Structure 1
Amino acid sequence: MINFRLLVGLILLLSGGLFINAGQAAETQEHATRTANVDARRIIDADREPGNWIAHGRTYDEQRFSPLDSINRETVPRMGFAWQQDMASTRGLEATPIVVDGVMYTTSTWSRVTALDARSGEVLWQFDPEVDRAWGKKLCCDVVNRGVAVWKGRVYFGTLDGYLIALDAATGDLVWRVDTLINRDAWYSITGAPRIVKGKVIIGNGGAEFQVRGYISAFDAESGDLDWRFYTVPGGPEGPFEHPELEAAAATWDKNSDWTGVGGTAWDSMAYDPDLDLLYIGTGNGSPWPQYVRSPEGGDNLYLASILALRPDTGRLVWHYQTVPGDAWDFTATQHIILADLEIEGELRKVLLQAPKNGFFYVIDRASGELISAENYVFANWASEIDIKTGRPVLTGLADFSDQERYVFPSAAGGHNWQPMAFSPDTGLVYIPARDAGWVHNIAGDKWFTYGVKNVAELSEGQDIPPLSGYLKAWDPVAQSLAWEIPMPNIWNGGVLATAGGLVFHGTATGHLLVIDDRSGEVLKDLFLGTGVIAPPMTYDVDGEQYVALMAGWGGPAFNTLGGDEALLQYNNAGRLIAFKLDGIEVPKPDRIAARGPFPEPPESDASAEVVEQGRQLYVMFCGGCHGMYGSTPMLPDLRRLSKQKHTLFNDIVLGGALEPLGMSSFAAELNEQQASAIQAYVISLAREAFASQGAATEPTP
């Protein structure tokens, strides 16, 4: 019998232009069948093979709970480093690795896929879809990817530039590649992991901040053919309506608005109930954010910020629940959805659990869409409560920024964002990576979204505003109350894993993997990685050895959440896949970063205050998502540190694409020279503030 890893290594070494003989082909196919033969029955029966992690949330219900218990409250002090693999990234890593029969599949930045030996971390094959680096400007939140799906010998994933790709699970060879985009000129993207239900690969798209229309697509897993597509918002007030649900939705939009048919992208959460045969999908915000711009006459603006229950065979809507009718604050419902059976008032209920951005934790009957309960799990001032009879929020008026600035809680980053929570059937608790943070919404006239800077004390007057903080919260979904919480020094931390060992695993921005008692909240083990974490941990078993693995690499929309003690301020943000086991060793740390030095003296600028303000608005729209809203980020160039020579080349870079090979796209299609100059004026104003705050500085060599 030919050694499979040797065979794959030879294939990769000789590269794709050569053919292997029939015997080798049969060997490869046998291994593909043995290691990646995942189907619906296998996912439904996942608890029968707890050593594997064969779907995004391990199971269709997305509970992210593992029955493995070798690593438990008693043994966890022995937990340590097992192996690591470099992911060739210094930006955000968000994927949940999939493990099937000893082989691990994961993604990294720019939608690259890697297959590894789950015992050792040895790379078996890699696939780079070669995403055009110019696509980076079409992303709100870093060049991230949340993982793959595996089905019947193939690996499926989406790319930043909107393709859905199927690979041979044994070799990494391309099987098919389809375009998911309805308009390649629009600023669409894919960052979420696909799910596979009844032989259909389900995928959504991102881009609601950038004037795109949301939809969910289902492709045949075998052929790549499009089976159905559900649009989340009507294309216009008078149609045409691609499916009947859109005609009802159109009645909830201002018929005279130019913005109908924009937003509602389904960029992350999905879950599936095989008994009810319902696929649950969360949808996103409108574009622009302010409803008074998007739909001046009001209306619920369906199906923005909603949970949709669809038939996976047809894509037809069975029920919907809208968490934020007429959303104006980027309060998406794209956050993690968990399915569970809970005893509520003496009755066992099939429920759907979600902690979306808006700060309220929802328990919903997943058969009917009936709201059972909703309570705020973080501070929220936009609504006082969710009316159980109507299912609608009771607005306070404190978040209405149509005529003045408002300090709104939660922020546009949400009380909880994409980072997965976990549910333990042993404790009945949901573990939520949460945050208390606000956002100043303003009336500056931004047509995409808003971001304000003002004295928040003035805007907070009369309100009991909590301090900025991140948390890991253990939430009782039946009692709708907090069981325990652990404050975090940063608001942008990782996802969560719960296990039958009585443990909860949670990575942090400060570079720690915390292992916590699931009932008491006591930290039982603290492993310092030296690399910040935003991804969720997962666990698997090979040859009787339990491992816990996670992607370590801080990023995403975290550029404006620096608290001063993040790992990447001390160590290089070296993206790694790290695995742990009992009786492991100390975790290797990445190299320490070189001191950044003082801010250079910026060039003079005679731009007026009006031009600087125009530049601020344009900067927020086109630059802040990567370079930080205030110019500060350790992951991409801090524009406050541009040398005088770079400032002379500013338009060549921004409009001419001089640095496009490095991922800095040309914005010539979006900006003219006057607008680029206004952005430069704003950058110079930020640089002058930073330079003045430190005193005299030495000009670095350009």
Structure 2
Amino acid sequence: MVKTVQRHSRRVIAVSLVAILLGCNSTSRQENDAARKPEPWEQQLDDASNGDDWPAFGRTYGEQHYSPLTDINLDNVKDLGLVWSVDLPPGNPATGPIEVGGTVYLASGYSVVRAIDVETGKVKWTYDPKAPEASGIRLRQGWGSRGIAYWNHKVITATQDGRLIALDENSGQPVWSVQTLPDGAPMFISGPPWVFDGKVIIGNAGSDESAVRGFVTAFDADSGRPLWKFFTVPGNPANGFEDAAQEMAAKTWSGDWWKYGGGGSVWNAITYDKANDQILIGTGNGAPWNHKIRSMGKGDNLFVCSIVALDAKTGKYKWHYQVNPGESWDFNAAMDMELADLVIGGKPRQVVMTAPKNGFFYVIDRKDGKLISAEPFVDVTWAKGIDIKSGRPIENPGVRYESGKTTFRPTPLGAHSWMPMAYNPRTKLTYIPAIDLQATFDDTGITRENFEFAGGMGLSPGVGYSIDAGGKSVTGWLIAWDPVAQKARWKLPMETHGNGGIMTTAGQLVFQGRPDGGFSAYDATNGKRVWNFDARAGVVAPPISYRHKGRQYVTVVAGIGTSVGLFGPMFAQYGIDYRTQARRVLTFAIGGKEQLPPRTPYRAIAFNDPDFKLDPALAERGEGIFGGRCAVCHGTGAIAGGTAPDLRGSAAVADADTFRQIVKEGALVANGMPQFGEFRPDQIEALRHYLRSRAAILRSGKPDDAVGSAHKSGE
């Protein structure tokens, strides 16, 4: 025994000496890291990986939402069938799952993470971070997680209240947890974290509603230790600037912008460009939206509505491209960004491609941020085009609502929302879930002196912001876009907008879900629908595909959630209800034969309210409160779209005391209903009166003028 210990001690000493000698060697730790062979899960994050796993939101660093697998293809997709499903409880189901080593992971609701065995559909473990209870005022914005990440045997999730949590892949127990937001800041997290080079990066949101200054933070993926932080807009110059980029950006602002936060939230899009070891972040709108208020109508306001490249190791600024200088329409650049190597003009180019809210498809050189091309992929009326030399939009006269009111296309919902597009390197096409609507803005009577951050937009209460179809019969498209030629190769009209995120495969397929409950596969070359499955629930989430033990699978989460719920009137035809809609994880493979239970059609029924007598003025006041605080979850005109209950049928509205307990006292915070403790009794009564008036219209059976439109306003 003694000899064994002595031999062991000598080995330890020898190993220690080798380590010391290596440390003194000229070979750096970074070079050693680069020389080591990546772990299998790490290899799968590379764009050239074989596609056995789907370990990140877009599968790989390049965010292409593309699977190189071909076992499911045009020839046999007709035999694709359900192999298992897992029912989920109430809460946001519009989330992107991942898969590693035969386990599917997803974060539904308020970042409740589940691990599911691919072969059996059995839930291995569940972790609930209790985010609603921890969120406070942060619960008022956002709907839960849109996705998660994986690094070194850890599943990493972010919560509404700002925590970043790493869970052990086998047990679901926390390995580390860190709060990413400042104390009391009116921010929240709904986007997925992204992993790269041993790090995890996360942004946040909130600039639609509050005085928020955007930023991203990188942490050590194994320990949660903070590594670097980058602000997307400058702070108060009197406090000094964090870096040279902030000092540069401050020159593009006017007035006391820092009192309004500035905005620029990185609430969704982040991409790791491994070839150039840089992080690309897509920034959000200004806070408030109205440029005349936040910056006196002057300056480009860097870095709102921009793609910003940061050194991946240090977080230092490298370059930027601003999509909308001095933006004033919520045309943020936070939609997903795909990387590709394209031949343009006979020369190979490393590019980043994005289809942001403003309706133009951008191809940008990712080495230096120079614009290569930009063309509209939907009907655009706010600008004539993009000047290639300057990279700036050629705005149409009056679009900045100089006279108080303007109507334009597309809308703050975006020509493309957070539901990701996908790029197929084989077809060399990008597939976009496009939206074609128009908006009207009006800031009549709003000044810097009377502006309040209720609704956060800087538009007139009650009538300041509306969205409609603008006379068009088609409001949604699936578009196959050629990024080199900058034109559509095919377009498939959809019954409505708000269609699901996209995945494309080497099997020449494009997968996408729809609010009507269809989950379909299309021929990637011509748009022909080649397979359809009745998911018995709307499908917004992006699908994924992977291979386990030689069998290719497709997984998607069914159910309506996130901001899609604002458009309840437009989705009324589908009978989507928060309480009764199915929320399920669906997994398919060739030969699957499982069946889902039938769907029970939902029809809204108004609560009984025999004593109601309409006070038009009180109802109008309540409409303003509802539009600014409630509609984004409970739907335009209180016609819910699945994100929250339809209040026209809620008995709680009929009882004044119950309604007060829920709205002012926070009785249902644990269920995701935020507390509005600042509401005065007269405001609560106005809100309740409006909801009673909406229920009365439903009871009457008369046509509802809210159906087919969407509107958001604030008091």
TM range (shorter): 0.7 to 0.9
Aligned ranges 1:171-210 → 2 under 5 Å: 171-183=171-183, 185-210=184-209
The letter for the 2-side match of 1:538 is I
Aligned ranges 1:669-680 → 2 under 5 Å: 669=678, 671-680=679-688
Q: CA deviation at 1:330?
A: 1.0
Q: Deviations over 1:600-625 (max 9, x none)?
A: 4475457563x544433322221111
The residue aligned with 2:492 is 486
Return 199-208 or 91-100, whichever deviates more: 91-100
Match of 1:374, SS? Answer: strand
Structure 1 residue runs of 4+, over 6 Å off? 451-457
Identity %: 38
The residue aligned with 1:74 is 75
Q: CA deviation at 1:296?
A: 1.5
* Aligned residue pairs, count: 652
* Residues 442 and 452, structure 1, Cα contact 8 Å, conserved in 2: no
The letter for the 2-side match of 1:512 is G
Q: CA deviation at 1:133?
A: 4.2
* Residues 338 and 354, structure 2, Cα contact 8 Å, conserved in 1: yes
TM-aligned CA distance change 1:207 to 1:303, over 3 Å = same
Q: 2:543 aligns with which of 523, 537, 553?
A: 537
Q: TM-score w.r.t. structure 2 length? A: 0.86
TM-aligned CA distance change 1:134 to 1:199, over 3 Å = closer
Instruction: State how far apart, in whole Å, the 1-side matches of 2:464 and 2:310 are.
Output: 45
* Residues 443 and 460, structure 2, Cα contact 8 Å, conserved in 1: no
Query: Which stretches in structure 1 are left out of the alignment for 5+ residues?
Result: 1-35, 696-702
Q: TM-score w.r.t. structure 1 length? A: 0.87
Aligned ranges 1:141-180 → 2 under 5 Å: 142-180=142-180
The letter for the 2-side match of 1:651 is R
Match of 1:266, SS? Answer: coil
The residue aligned with 2:640 is 633
The residue aligned with 1:273 is 273
TM-aligned CA distance change 1:294 to 1:599, over 3 Å = same
The residue aligned with 2:4 is none
Instruction: State how far apart, in whole Å, the 2-side matches of 1:146 and 1:312 are.
Output: 23
TM-aligned CA distance change 1:198 to 1:520, over 3 Å = same
Match of 1:418, SS? Answer: coil
TM-aligned CA distance change 1:554 to 1:464, over 3 Å = closer
TM-aligned CA distance change 1:619 to 1:236, over 3 Å = farther
The residue aligned with 2:554 is 548
Q: Deviations over 1:22-59 (max 9, x none)?
A: xxxxxxxxxxxxxx956655522x64432211222111
Instruction: State how far apart, in whole Å, the 1-side matches of 2:262 and 2:621 are.
Output: 25
The letter for the 2-side match of 1:267 is W
* Residues 102 and 542, structure 1, Cα contact 8 Å, conserved in 2: yes
Match of 2:110, SS? Answer: helix
* Residues 38 and 54, structure 1, Cα contact 8 Å, conserved in 2: no
Q: 2:586 aligns with which of 559, 578, 596?
A: 578
* Residues 632 and 638, structure 1, Cα contact 8 Å, conserved in 2: yes
The residue aligned with 2:502 is 496
Instruction: State how far apart, in whole Å, the 2-side matches of 1:39 and 1:76 are.
Output: 28
Aligned ranges 1:32-181 → 2 under 5 Å: 40-44=42-46, 47-89=48-90, 91-133=91-133, 135=135, 138=138, 142-181=142-181
Match of 1:192, SS? Answer: coil
Q: Deviations over 1:184-232 (max 9, x none)?
A: x232111111111121110111111122221100011122111111011
TM-aligned CA distance change 1:117 to 1:570, over 3 Å = closer
Q: 2:659 aligns with which of 644, 650, 674?
A: 650
* Residues 82 and 580, structure 1, Cα contact 8 Å, conserved in 2: yes
TM-aligned CA distance change 1:102 to 1:220, over 3 Å = same
* Residues 605 and 699, structure 2, Cα contact 8 Å, conserved in 1: no
* Residues 462 and 624, structure 2, Cα contact 8 Å, conserved in 1: no
The letter for the 2-side match of 1:500 is A
Q: CA deviation at 1:591?
A: 4.2
Match of 1:564, SS? Answer: helix
Query: Which stretches in structure 2 are left out of the alignment for 5+ residues?
Result: 1-37, 447-451, 704-715
TM-aligned CA distance change 1:617 to 1:425, over 3 Å = same
Match of 2:286, SS? Answer: coil
The residue aligned with 1:10 is none
The letter for the 1-side match of 2:123 is V
Return 231-240 or 100-109, whichever deviates more: 231-240
Instruction: State how far apart, in whole Å, the 2-side matches of 1:640 and 1:104 are.
Output: 37
Q: Deviations over 1:115-136 (max 9, x none)?
A: 1211221111111111134738
Instruction: State how far apart, in whole Å, the 1-side matches of 2:348 and 2:136 are.
Output: 47
The residue aligned with 2:421 is 421
Q: CA deviation at 1:152?
A: 1.2
Match of 2:490, SS? Answer: strand
* Residues 159 and 190, structure 1, Cα contact 8 Å, conserved in 2: yes
Return 254-263 or 198-207, whichever deviates more: 254-263
Are residue 624 (structure 1) and residue 651 (structure 2) matched?
no
Q: CA deviation at 1:660?
A: 3.4
* Residues 135 and 161, structure 1, Cα contact 8 Å, conserved in 2: yes
Are residue 667 (structure 1) and residue 673 (structure 2) matched?
no
